[in-house]
Amino acid sequence: MIQLDIQLTEHFTLRELCQSKTAAAHKIPNIPLECHIMRLRNVCERALEPARQHFGIPFIVSSGYRCEPVNRLVGGVKNSQHIAGEAVDFVPLASLQEVWAWMREHVEYDQLLLECIGGKTWIHVSCRIDTRKNRRQALVVRR
């Protein structure tokens, strides 16, 4: 059984990257495999932790790893990088636009989205272990 009390980087734990209100409400175990943990650590090391250290403020993770049933329930796309453990959605306790702009220039990522949907705003960052496959897509998404 995977222990969730693992420190992935200085400021991010496996537990916070696997927490899910949807999983809890539906009693679905949202437990990653070792391969997912390795990918989550990669996202933290290459994208989240450098930004967290630069700004010196907490980031509130709203979604990290999602097992397939949880991803379906939250309306995630079938090929979501959350399922693979390659993506994290978060809200920094600072200007989202400022954090997004800094990350766009200073961290490794596959996708970096500033998402403004239904009156809520957050940053989505994904990163592949094989950085040659990272597309470096930086987009603002409004719906």
Q: Give percent above pLDDT 90 in the chain.
A: 94
**Given this model, what pLDDT does residue 1 score?**
61
pLDDT in tens, 76-117: 999 999 999 999 999 999 899 999 999 999 999 999 999 999
Q: What angle do CA 41, 43, 49 make, to 5 degrees?
A: 85
Give, in words, the CATH class of 14-142.
alpha beta
Of the chain, the end-to-end C-alpha distance in Å amounts to: 40
Residue 66 CA to its chain's centroid (Å): 10
CA distance 72 to 59: 25
User: Mean pLDDT throughout 126-130?
Assistant: 96
pTM of the model: 0.95
Residue 4 has pLDDT above 90, yes or no: no
